[in-house]
């Protein structure tokens, strides 16, 4: 199980690395749950990473516009991430989600087929008006993605467990693994949440707020907080 820490700039990246993050995830919280950061910031972060540390990039809480999203994904791919996370915010059903993800997989795969594409959904999908995340394993499998992620779309203090029971999270994880997919879990998680989720055996657990000063996702990444979180993984 790997610890993914979401950062907004190169300075935060250094503290996340010192604390033991396995994957550096680049996002822009000002633009949403899976908000995309600027190319020049992603490039600065990439240059700061050791060769053995993976980089993930959030493509955004994307609309149901397959052409637009696939073109954005190609731009992201040019910056050299190991993973591209696509937040299926504007897709209402499995057909729309699969159409978007097939376009992304094709555009990125033609450029660099070693980049893993992660189909991402929202535990609070009813509030968002998006795809039920329990459909993500099928969407990812039929579109050629390498993994799935469930997060929360609206960041108002509610967490993954406010929308998905332990049983449902286990089903999500096992179903993803059944399709041979990487499974990542996130959603305003706290330290005690990670202890519970560890039993589900996901491949990746992602955090931002839990790794920030005062547990505030709008604050700065704290070396001490990342170090404490990494201890749970060990």
CATH number at residue 119: 3.20.20.380
Burial class (CB in 10 A: 0-12, 13-18, 19+), 170: middle
pLDDT tens digits, 127-160: 999 999 999 999 999 999 999 999 999 999 899 9
Mean pLDDT computed over 86-95? 97
For 84-123, b/e burial (b = at least 16 CB within 10 A) is bbbbbbbbeeeebbbbbbbbbbbbbeeeeeebbbbbbbbb
pLDDT tens digits, 3-36: 999 999 999 999 999 999 999 999 999 999 999 9
pTM of the model: 0.96
Our count of domains for the chain comes to 1
Residues involved in catalysis? 27, 85
At 136 the pLDDT is 98
The residue segments making up the domain with residue 227 are 2-233
Give residue for tokens 């954005």.
Answer: 72
């Amino acid at each position: 199980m790997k610890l993914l820490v979401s950062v907004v700039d190169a300075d935060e990246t250094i503290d996340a690395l010192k604390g033991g993050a396995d994957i550096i995830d680049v996002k822009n919280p000002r633009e949403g749950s899976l908000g995309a950061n600027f190319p020049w910031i992603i490039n600065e972060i990439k240059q700061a990473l050791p060769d053995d540390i993976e980089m993930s990039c959030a493509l955004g809480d994307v609309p149901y516009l397959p052409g637009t999203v696939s073109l954005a994904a190609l731009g992201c791919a040019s910056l050299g991430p190991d993973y591209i996370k696509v937040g299926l915010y504007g897709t209402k059903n499995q057909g729309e989600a699969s159409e978007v993800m097939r376009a992304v997989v094709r555009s990125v795969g033609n450029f660099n087929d070693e980049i893993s594409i992660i189909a991402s959904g929202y535990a609070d999908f009813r509030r968002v008006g998006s795809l039920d995340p329990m459909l993500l394993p099928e969407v990812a499998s039929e579109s050629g993605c390498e993994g799935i992620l469930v997060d929360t779309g609206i960041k108002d203090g509610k967490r993954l467990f406010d929308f998905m029971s332990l049983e449902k999270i286990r089903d999500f994880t096992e179903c993803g693994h059944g399709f041979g997919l990487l499974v990542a879990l996130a959603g305003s998680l706290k330290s005690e949440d990670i202890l519970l989720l560890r039993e589900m055996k996901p491949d990746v657990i992602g955090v931002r707020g839990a790794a920030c000063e005062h547990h505030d996702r709008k604050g700065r990444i704290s070396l001490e907080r990342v170090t404490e979180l990494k201890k749970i993984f060990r």
